[in-house]
Each structure stands twice: as C-alpha cells, then as structure tokens.
A and B are shown apart, each in its own frame.
Chain A
C-alpha cells in the first residue's frame, strides 16, 4: 500500500490538509480512515483513499452475477477419455484447476496429450512440459483416430490447423514457470474478447518436478512458492476463462499438499 505523500501526484485531492488529518489519526498509508464531520475537502480525500483501496481487491459479485458468469463462460471440455469424463462430470471445467495424481507411468501424460488434442480442434492450448514428454506423434495419432476418412490433403490440412493451435514450452524450474505464466497473463489481458480462436486450456505436465526441488522438510520458501503457483494458476483459470490441467507424480511416502 503506497504512502499517501507518494499518491499526491496521481490524486491531487490528497493534499497536505488531508494528509495532516490522516496523520493525526495515525494513518500514513492508504488504510481505513474514520469519517467524522469535517470539511468537504477532507471527505473528498477520504473518499479518494477508499476508492484506491477498493481497487486493490477483486470486485464484489452477487449470486446472480456469479451464476451468469458461470453459465456464459465456464464451459466443460471433454477429455476424450470416457472413464475420466464420467468421473469428472463431462470433462474438465473452465475456471477450475484439475489435478491428475498418480505414481509414475500411470498414464498422466497420455491423458494430458489426449485432452490437448481434443481441445485444440477449436481452441488454443498452452502445454508446459517439464520432462520432455510432449509428443506431437501422439497428438497426430489421437487426431487421426477420430477424423472421418477423407483425402490425404484434407487430413493434412486439418492436422496442421490443430497442431498450430497447441503451443508447447519447456520449463525446467519453478521460476521459469512463473515467468511463462506472467507473460501469459499479460498476453491474455490484451487478447480477451478479441478474435475467434482463444486460449482455453493450460496444461502443466508435470508440476511435481518443479515443486519437489524447492520443497524441503521445513522450508517455508518452498511451500510459499508452491502456494503462490497454485494461486496464479487459479487466477488465470478464473479471470481468463481457462481450464487448467496439472499432473502430479505422487512419490510413495511423501504427500505434498497443493492448495
């Protein structure tokens, strides 16, 4: 929260009178100010301070607005695998973070690739690969199974279109992932609402290989990084209408809690 003196250049109503008043109440930064009957100028200043703080948090919504947003934006994408779709209730949902947990070689990457190939038909997909497990051949195979037999050229064109919808990045540590996600956030902020082909799926395969190196037994920084990563993914999912799918390799005796 900025100091009031520093905010004066942006908001000229916060001049020295207002600042003195706030200082007399022990307020040096944009915090809660008690209202009492003072001059109009003071009231204006306090109202300005309050609106600055109001901008610092997400907007309040009522139940109807939430419901409308969910119905309009938060669709469900089928993964293409019947059993999983049944468990998830038709597929992975936009606005939520879905986690696949399992020991190694239990098919998590296969599910990720299958989902990517399914969603990429109509939307853009970002695939963050941490273990060089992304396989374009697999995607082509999944797509080849589902399209109707037609000329080789049409098939090729279709494949090209879908493959160009998937963008794959390799990340090998958690800071690189934060980098990519922040870039994604600024990209999506400009993109939202524009264009027909929008990004709708973010896959991180697998997030456990990014988190386990920073997570020691009593390290607070590691857990803080893990929690912040979770919140960044949830924020991207909700604000930019993405479905987020992360895979997590569960090592036998250690249960890591991702919020």
Chain B
C-alpha cells in the first residue's frame, strides 16, 4: 500500500516537457479566415450568419485543411493529415464543389513547389501531366478521410452522436488516423420542429419528454462525452436573421417582450454589455457550451475578378472573444482569400 501511495507522488514529466508534448500533439490551428484567434482541440466554434454568407464554405475549407497531409511525396500541402467528420443537418452539402476545392488546393500546392524549382511554361505543363496520377492518388486518399452523414431529424442526430464513439474507435483501428475535426451544419436546423413537437406525457416517469431544451441538453452532453475520449475541434454553423441596424431598438423591444412571454430559454440581453445584432434562439445549454463565436455576412460589394467572375465580399467579426476588427474576405476557386 505504501509503495502505491508513493507512486502517486513521483512526477511523470516536467512542465516544459508537457508543454512540448501538448504543442506537438495538439497544435494550434490558424484556419483562414478564422486566423485571428488560434483554435485548439476542445474548442467549440460557432459560425453565425444569415443565409448565403459562406458559413458552410468556411467549414469545408477547414475540412480540406484537416484532411490534406502535411508532406506527401516531397510536396508540402500544409494540412494536418487527420480525418474530418461532417454532420449535415441542413442536407445541402454539394460534394462536387467540395471535390473541386480539394483538387484546386492539391494542384496549387503541387504547382507552388514546382515553380520554386524555376521551370518554364512547357516544363510545368509536362510536370503537371506527370503529377496527375500522384494527384489522383492523393485526392482519393484525402476523400477517404472525409466522413459524411445526413440527419433528417433530431432523433437521427442524437442516434448519430450516441454511436459516434464506437465509429471513431473503428476508424482508428481501420485507418490508423484520428478524427481531429467535427463539423455540424447547421446546429439550429431542427429548432422549429423540436419546438413544435409537444411533450406528450409518457406512462413511465423515467423517460424524458421530447422537448427542445432536453434535446439540446442531450446533444451537448453527448458531444462533451465524446470530447473527453476523442479530443476534437468542433465547428458548427447557425443560421440567423440579422436585424436591421436602424431598428435595433425595435428589435430588442420585441425580443424582450417575446422572451418574457414565450421563450424562457434565451439569454437575457440586458445582462450583457454587448448587443447582439441578431436574435439568439438556441437554448442556454448550447449557448454556454460554445467557446468561440464568429459573425459572418455578405456585403453588397463585389470584387471584380476578371471579366467573368464577380466574387462577393464577406465580412467577418469575432463575437467571442470580442475583437474590434472586421475582416473582409472573398471566396475563390482555391478557397477563402483574405482581403484585409
């Protein structure tokens, strides 16, 4: 017994060693356009914005960065080499667009390395043809690391989360890669359906009724449990309706009236200094689970990019942690391109 007690007191590693280990195993991620705040596993990032504000695009960009390898056959791709899981609650994912983006990233990295050697135009084309089978092999390798599932209602979503632990264990055994990224698009998808399903009293008291708050709590609990065993970065999108900035007073007044009568779950807006430009509708369980929050929206400006392409410009603002800067970015074939 005494030797066991002593074993508790012997140190495993010094603080410096621990820091070294953690920083190599769980590096900070700087994913454009979310590059202002470094993200780590265990963070829960929420991307908030109205429809068509490139939220899903940012998720896809993060997934591609995750599934690309760091170094492959001599070419540096700058990725993480881990798997990414995409839970599609909106059911609007376009796999052809995803594969296009992945291909463009692969070619860009391959061309980037070849241009360093200093080839001429003809040489680079020949090299491109030579690289093609390698690119296809890499493409297949990366696509196999991208895991996708669709959920058509909350019960399917919960069933997915509950069996995710065993799925991840299987993935680890079969492919030997860990899942680093969990993407959810979008988290508020079943909000109205769950609110509308009234809680019928069941015979047995042990079962919880199907209620918006219970569903949300169950989702948060499952993800928390999952993060304990499989550390991942969680990114979720949420569609909101932005209030007109000239009528924010009216918006907050309506919100207060609405929150007093109808919805006891929303956060009390008067308690915080920061006035949110949108109406928060997720229950408090989810709101307190989120560690980082970003607001994106499209502006009316276009970036003229050649005669045929007109890319819209998007604005990005960090709400949690609150930063004063506004980032502008646009979406191109190779992905997100920061403007300022």
Contact = CB atoms under 8 A, between A and B. Distances in A.
B204 interface: yes
Q: How large is the interface on A (under 10, 10 to 19, 20 to 34, 35 or more residues)?
A: 35 or more
A61 B155 contact: no
Contact of B149 (A58, A221, A231): A58
Interface stretch (B162-170, B295-303, B306-314): B162-170
Contacts of A32: 162-163, 165, 222, 225
A225 B193 CA distance: 7
Contacts of B192: 220, 223-224, 226-227
A235 B163 contact: no
Given A57-B151, A62-B146, A234 B163 contact: no
Given A60-B147, A61-B148, A62-B148, A220 B207 contact: no
B155 A66 contact: no
Nearest to B258: A218
A70 B162 contact: no
B178 interface: no
A175 B91 CA distance: 23
B90 interface: yes
Q: How large is the interface on B (under 10, 10 to 19, 20 to 34, 35 or more residues)?
A: 35 or more
Contact of B207 (A28, A50, A227, A231): A28
A1 B208 CA distance: 11
Interface string B188-203: 0110110111000000
A257 B190 CA distance: 14
A56 interface: yes
Given A28-B204, A259-B90, A50 B143 contact: no
Interface in A76-96: 96
- Most A CB atoms within 10 A — which of B140, B148, B189, B225? B148
A247 to B, nearest CB: 19
Interface residues of chain B: helix, strand, loop or mixed (majority): helix
Interface string B74-112: 000000000000000011100110110000000000000
A7 interface: no
Interface string A7-49: 0000000000000000000001101100000000000000000
Interface residues of chain A: helix, strand, loop or mixed (majority): helix
Interface of B: 51, 67, 90-92, 95-96, 98-99, 140, 142-153, 155-157, 159-160, 162-163, 165-167, 189-190, 192-193, 195-197, 204, 206-207, 222, 225, 241, 258, 262
28 contacts: A28-B206, A28-B207, A32-B163, A32-B222, A32-B225, A56-B155, A56-B156, A57-B160, A57-B163, A58-B156, A59-B149, A63-B67, A63-B98, A63-B142, A63-B146, A63-B147, A64-B143, A64-B144, A67-B99, A67-B143, A70-B96, A96-B92, A224-B192, A224-B193, A224-B195, A226-B192, A227-B189, A235-B152
Q: 7 tightest CB-CB pairs across the interface, nearest first?
A: A224-B196, A63-B143, A63-B146, A56-B159, A223-B192, A57-B159, A32-B162
Given A32-B163, A238-B91, 18 more contacts: A29-B207, A56-B155, A56-B159, A57-B156, A57-B163, A58-B149, A58-B156, A62-B146, A63-B144, A63-B146, A63-B147, A67-B95, A224-B193, A226-B192, A228-B193, A231-B91, A231-B152, A259-B189
